[in-house]
């Protein structure tokens, strides 16, 4: 999926503004394990509203019309409103298929029950929890990847070593050796290349 985003969003630009594109891409990536949302139109709508909501989070809480904080409050309400149909659809799928195994975070929250067999959370609480998870995965991942891309762009020798390491990971993947360990191995190669460049 990451390759699809890179191929779709990055090539048309001569100068790439990495952080905004990564914010969009990490939100799309986060929507899959959290809610099984893959529809590009739905992700685009969520991304636009989410961007408005996050833009006002770190600013002074001046709730006057036209301020970023005021726009963030309205965007947060809109985001909750946009999540409710997704929550209701998933809840309906669970009700229709009682033997359903939770494949995403949303399904797990909907299936969670207390000792009396009652749902642990209301739909609005689930929506708030999903927004919190999206925010946590969105900002930190986008920032970290942006710094890695910047570092690799500034240090071509490190980029070459990472590229060689990635080829080794692809070779291991082709040989089907320890697939669960491949992402960790890939990160180790990147860190190894970065630390070797610093010496």
pLDDT tens sequence across 95-144? 888 777 777 888 888 888 888 888 889 999 999 998 888 888 777 778 88
Tokens read off for 31: 């929507």
pLDDT of 51-104, one tens digit each?
888 888 777 787 888 888 888 889 889 989 989 999 999 889 888 887 777 778
d(CA 168, CA 32): 28
Contact status, residue 127 vs residue 77, Cβ threshold 8 Å: no
Distance CA 85, CA 137 (A): 22
Quickly tell me which residue has 């709508």 as its tokens: 45
pTM given for the model: 0.69
In degrees rounded to 5, what are phi and psi of residue 66? Answer: 95, -15
Task: Determine how many CB atoms are found less than 10 A away from the CB of residue 29.
Answer: 18
The 10 Å Cβ neighbour count of residue 60 is 9
Distance of CA 9 to the CA centre of its chain: 16
- What structural domains does the chain harbor? 2-154 (1.10.630.10), 156-199 (no CATH)
Question: Which 3 state secondary structure label does DSSP give 113?
Answer: strand
- Angle subtended at Cα 21 by Cα 43 and Cα 61, rounded to the nearest 5 degrees: 80
Handedness of CA 147, 153, 156, 159 (dihedral sign): positive
């Amino acid at each position: 999926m990451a390759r699809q985003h890179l191929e779709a969003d990055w090539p048309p630009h001569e100068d790439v503004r990495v952080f905004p594109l990564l914010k969009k891409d990490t939100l799309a990536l986060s929507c899959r394990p959290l809610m099984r949302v893959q529809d590009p139109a739905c992700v685009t709508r969520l991304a636009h509203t989410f961007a408005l909501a996050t833009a006002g989070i770190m600013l002074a809480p001046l709730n006057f019309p036209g301020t970023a904080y005021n726009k963030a409050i309205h965007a947060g309400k809109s985001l909750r409103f946009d999540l409710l149909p997704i929550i209701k659809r998933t809840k309906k799928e669970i009700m229709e298929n009682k033997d359903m195994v939770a494949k995403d975070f949303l399904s797990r929250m909907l299936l969670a029950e207390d000792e009396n067999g009652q749902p642990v959370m209301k739909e609005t609480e689930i929506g708030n929890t999903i927004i919190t998870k999206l925010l946590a995965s969105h900002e930190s991942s986008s920032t970290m990847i942006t710094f890695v891309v910047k570092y690799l762009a500034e240090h071509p020798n490190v980029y070459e070593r990472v590229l060689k390491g990635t080829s080794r990971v692809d070779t291991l993947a082709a040989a089907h050796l320890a697939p669960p360990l491949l992402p960790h191995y890939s990160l180790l190669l990147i860190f190894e290349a970065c630390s070797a460049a610093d010496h």
